[in-house]
Amino acid sequence: MRHMKNADVVIVGAGPTGLMLAGELSLAGVRPLVLERHPHRRDTPKAGGLGGQILELLRYRGLLERFQAACTGPVPAPRFPFGGVHLDFTRMADPPLHALPLPQQSLERLLDERAGELGVDVRRGHEVTGVSQDDTAVTVDVRGPDGPYQVNARYLVGCDGARSGIRDRAGIPFPGVTYPEVNRLAQVTLSDEVTVLDNGDLDVPGFGTVRAGFTRTDRGLLGVGSSPGARSVSLYTIEDESTEYDDDVPMTLTELQDSIHRVLGAHLPLAGSTRLSRFTFKAHQAERYRAGRILLAGDAAHLFPATGVALNAGLLDAVNLAWKLAAELHGRAPGGLLDTYHDERHLAGARTMLHTRAQVALRRGHDEAAEALREVFSELLADEQPLRRMGALVAGTDIRHPMPGSGHHPLAGTFAPDLTLHTDRGITGVAGLLHPARPVLLDLAGRADLREAARDWKDRVDIHTAKTDRRPADALLIRPDAHIAWAAPVDEPAGTAVPALREALSTWFGTP
């Protein structure tokens, strides 16, 4: 072994989750080392965008505009596939689910640039060949371009994807199922031979009308996402198939056309493509996200049998984990804080697994009973309340983290609302207070007693005073991941509020 290096945290995998974690750790004053076995950023098309709660989190970090500027196409209408039907929010002024069309290659580039700006050491072409741990450290064997070496770190996080070697080396079970189907997703330009009708349907020569939405045959499913008059459309096929594809071998336009022909029984003329991706569906979740000093995040921790949710879940894993891991490394974490990463994100992953497995049931049925189920489900989605509920479920915004103790304010454990705040320096929002990724005590009622109670934590908690219209609480204690750790009911007496605040501060941010 050539030599030994030291790091606070080793992150294995420079995909979106690993890079997001590295950036968040850097904001918290931690030195992460990112090891990636591939020598360059990969350009194989994978996810086509971001959606759900992570968009709000990026806004709370001041990053959303930067990500929006990198989009190559228009933001789509709020209409999302769900197991062979659609969640259509186009009639809502405030839809509960949004998406940002940002190919994964562009997302990784942006996160890589941000990591570089924060001084993160990202080493590509460095493969982990062995891992061992004891009560104080993790030792990582690495094979790099210049030969083998070792890294000694206090913690290691596996962000190395579905076939995670870190998960295997940590002995963490990964139970679940793989469904015998292959999915192909593309953004294509139609040939001039195809006519896009006023309602978005396609008139295909030699076949007739292919309607917008889903067409189901006994050979599979074809999805068409189009706008009247537009030549660029989204196409999606599902076929039962047991072929094992190499994720690093990109899909071709010919492969897509062959799949459409098999499903539809007709040729759909295409002129070109801007995105082509292929994937299989798996439903797996690690039994635990932590084994000693080794933790898992992203696809290493969970695989969901539906599109549009994996990146949201993985990036939220990273944000939840980073501040807790930083507190451990800085020596100010209260007992059990790091274990709440598993408690909270495993629960969130199970919630995502619930609706993606429900999508499998909706999507894969071919008999009359399955058709009836889809029809009834679509009728329910015509009403606003169930549609909003499903949108929140897919977005991951319906999660309320479990809070220790009892008698909590209804806001405790939820994502902090972006209240409009009136301060001495002008008008701002809650989102602006969380750009540095630090805890915040937000006094909304001029409660000097609460600000004084938090003074002992001022080295680790930012204290702000503001006013807001229709305040939901007298004060909010907000974690770095934008979730509310504690809230004071309006006009709660000091004798009750002060001890409760000090207990919450100790529970989440340690003894002052």
User: What is the rounded CA–CA span in Å between residue 29 and residue 24?
Assistant: 9
What would the pLDDT profile of 171-186 be if each residue is shown by its tens digit? Answer: 999 999 998 888 898 8
**Which overall architecture, per CATH, does domain 4-174+286-395 show?**
3-Layer(bba) Sandwich (3.50)
Q: Is 9 strand, coil or helix?
A: strand
Q: Which whole-number Å values give the CA distances from 387 to 21, 32, 87, 377, 423, in the listed order?
A: 32, 41, 7, 10, 37
pLDDT for the residue numbered 391 = 96
Token pair 């993985």: residue: 314
Q: Mind listing the pLDDT tens digit for each residue in 197-237?
A: 888 889 999 889 998 888 888 888 898 987 776 788 889 89
Average pLDDT on 375-395 reads 95
Using pLDDT thresholds of 50, 70 and 90, give the confidence band for residue 166: very high
What are the boundaries of each domain within the chain? 4-174+286-395, 180-281, 420-509
- The answer to whether domain 180-281 has CATH 3.30.70.1400 is no
Residue 1 has pLDDT above 60, yes or no: no
Q: Work out the pLDDT band at 366, boundaries 50, 70, 90.
A: confident
Closest CA to 187 of 251, 248, 144: 251
Reported pTM: 0.90
Given this chain, do its domains 4-174+286-395 and 180-281 carry the same CATH topology?
Answer: no
What does DSSP assign to residue 105? Answer: H
* Angstrom distance (rounded) from CA 359 to CA 104: 23
Report the CATH number of the 420-509 domain. Answer: 3.40.30.120
pLDDT, mean of residues 273-294: 92
